[in-house]
Structure 1
Amino acid sequence: MRVSRRKKKFQKPGSMDLCITIKGVSFLLQSGLGVLGNLSVLMAYAHIAYVESYLQPVDKILAHLAFSNLVQLLTRSVPQTVVIFGLRNLLDDPSCKMVVYTHRIHRALSICLTCMLSVVQALTLTPSAGPHLTKLKSRLSQLVVPTFVGLWLLNMTVCIAAPLFSIAPRNGTVPPFTLNLGFCHVKFPNNLSYVAVGAAFSTRDFAFVAIMLVSSSYILIFLHKHRRQVRSIRRTQQGTSMEMRAAKSVIMLVVLYSVFFGIDNVIWIYMLTVAQVPATVVDMRAFFSACYATFSPMLMISTNKKIKTRMVCAAGEQSAEDSEKPKR
């Protein structure tokens, strides 16, 4: 007890203020960039759908991914930022249940949709070697929406424990087997439920990551073989250039997700091994788990020609409207 008192006595308040400021600014930048980027992708695809009245399967998945990333940021990074800057009692018990449940669903959808994206791209690139594969490839556009519904139902079921254990923060210490999210607590009744829920989430995540990595490895092998085959056939190379660019974009998204998924799960596994998780560890996991939602729209914009063209056209139309306004 004497040691802890001595530490408190000589603790510099300025260092704590600096840490809180750095943490708050980091979450604020992450939230702002992520929300702006995902909104830009959604608006670009909304205009493409309006003009062309049809979206390719990959475009539908990317639009849904941007929406899930946006909701993920709004239900985790934004409240986390507000709490860091000192606003307490942000949510009551029902609000916590709704926000935590919504975040868990969309966080899960983010990994599922990235996995779906890599599988669809692998099927698109695969040569039609039989009637079954040919039929499957021809029905890809029809299967996208039913797959979305299936993923929603799956994740709503897996994440059902989140609202059951979510409560608003109470005054005093955080009890054992509780995830302190800052704006909400996820309080498990015992160690068994704490580990079981964590194991269920990890099993689902690792299963989709495994599928994602297998399909992405196939895409990489296909791209390598294709590059060697079409070096001297320019016409073939031009005919498949769009598919090649889309495949490379998917690979980059998978790599981006895998990096942040690895960091996120290392922290998550550590959290499952302790009864009371330090607040700093929770903040680190919240930050890294939201990094994919922040950086993926930037990658989509920089590598997807449709989105980039739409955004450039919108900027040009806006500047043209401004120049046509009569000057006073």
Structure 2
Amino acid sequence: MDLCVTIKGVSFLLQTGMGILGNIVVLLAYGHIIFTEPKLLPVDMILCHLALANLMLMLTRGVPQTITVFGHTNLFNDPGCKVIIFSYRISRALSVCITCMLSVFQAVTVAPAGSHLSRLKLSLHSLVLPTFAGLWLLNSAIYFQTFFHAKAPRNGTIPAFTINVGFCHVDFRNSLTYIIKGVLASGRDFSFVALMVASSVYMLLLLHRHSRQMKAIRRSQGSGAKTRAAKTVVTLVVLYVFFFGIDNVIWIYMLTETKVPPVVADMRVFFSSCYASLSPYFIISSNKKVKAKIICVAEQDQPASMDTQASHDK
């Protein structure tokens, strides 16, 4: 096997495996929290939904991409390609939208009393589910035409204005449709990224403004937790924006070319999936609730294994 193919395959395999494992752990931790606590905080609900979207992304793009890299391209027929590409695009779009939602909701949470944003604090919990529903409907409407463009790979030359993802083709048939769909999706992404960056900058300015009063703030109930949560959200936004920038530089190049080499599409898939693969581990390391549940399960398993070993020794 060619060395480049091996390196690319191992990279996708590690990324996909880490992403699936990390997001499943986060979802299981929150599943346990749901049964032990009366209700989740808005930020916890958003982080749980983010893990679900990222898990969908890894399953619908990471797994097929990894298999394709090792030479197995006939994975789906036409209906299968329509479903898998639609699901991937929805999950990728939800990843950016929910990260933006997380940033905005956290900005409202840490907003000082008397500000315009502080008036929304009491209604945050009631807004979470309607916002989720709105994001699903918005992105489903944007990507509904995927069912007309996605199809299984055909033998022969790849037509112009076709995105080749290895296991499926997305044929836009003409330059106008190709550019319109690209601009529409990119416009949505840039709008949400701009909003998440603005809310993150607001949180940073707010934390900096009150940096001299942090000791007093920590003494107030819950303020320390809000500050830590704000820093966590800002770090997630920085992580997303970094990989989003790389992703869209490659995407702009793909929009300007009629025929894009498969290696370019592979690079875009890898970088666009980095956030979905790495973010759950940051959530695990920075979220006390999730970390506590994982430690609790680990401590329960350890005595059980020790008891089993002791019985064998007897």
Is TM-score (shorter-chain normalized) higher than 0.5?
Answer: yes
* Aligned-partner Cα distance in 2 for 1:239–1:198: 43
Alignment equivalent of 1:244, drawn from 210, 213, 227: 227
Q: Which residues in structure 2 correspond to 1:132-281 (within 5 Å)? A: 133=117, 135-231=119-215, 235-236=219-220, 239-281=222-264
Structure 1's consecutive aligned runs of 4 or more residues displaced over 6 angstroms after TM superposition are none
Q: Which residues in structure 2 correspond to 1:1-328 (within 5 Å)? A: 17-129=2-114, 133=117, 135-231=119-215, 235-236=219-220, 239-325=222-308, 327-328=311-312
111-120 or 301-310, which deviates more: 301-310
* Aligned-partner Cα distance in 2 for 1:235–1:22: 51
Report which of the two structures shows the higher radius of gyration computed on alpha carbons.
1
Q: Does structure 2 retain, via aligned residues, the 8 Å contact 1:165–1:188? A: yes
Q: Does structure 1 retain, via aligned residues, the 8 Å contact 2:108–2:118? A: no
Tell me the C-alpha RMSD between the 2 structures: 1.4
- What SS does the corresponding residue of 1:150 show, helix, strand or coil? helix
* Aligned-partner Cα distance in 1 for 2:216–2:105: 28
- What SS does the corresponding residue of 1:139 show, helix, strand or coil? helix
TM-score scaled to structure 1, two decimals? 0.92
* Aligned-partner Cα distance in 1 for 2:285–2:279: 10
Q: What is the CA-CA distance between 1:231 and the residue it aligns to?
A: 4.0
- What SS does the corresponding residue of 2:170 show, helix, strand or coil? strand
Q: Deviations over 1:158-214 (max 9, x none)?
A: 111222100000111211100000010001110110011000000000000010010
* Aligned-partner Cα distance in 2 for 1:133–1:34: 34
Q: Does structure 2 retain, via aligned residues, the 8 Å contact 1:161–1:197? A: no
Q: Which amino acid aligns with 1:120?
A: F
* Aligned-partner Cα distance in 2 for 1:218–1:175: 46
Q: Deviations over 1:73-92 (max 9, x none)?
A: 10001100001112131100
Q: Which amino acid aligns with 1:122?
A: A
Residues 165 and 234 of structure 1: CA distance in aligned 2, closer, same or farther (over 3 Å): closer
Q: Kindly, what percent of the aligned residue pairs are identical?
A: 55
Residues 302 and 157 of structure 1: CA distance in aligned 2, closer, same or farther (over 3 Å): same
Count of paired positions = 311
* Aligned-partner Cα distance in 2 for 1:87–1:327: 48
Q: What is the CA-CA distance between 1:135 and the residue it aligns to?
A: 4.8
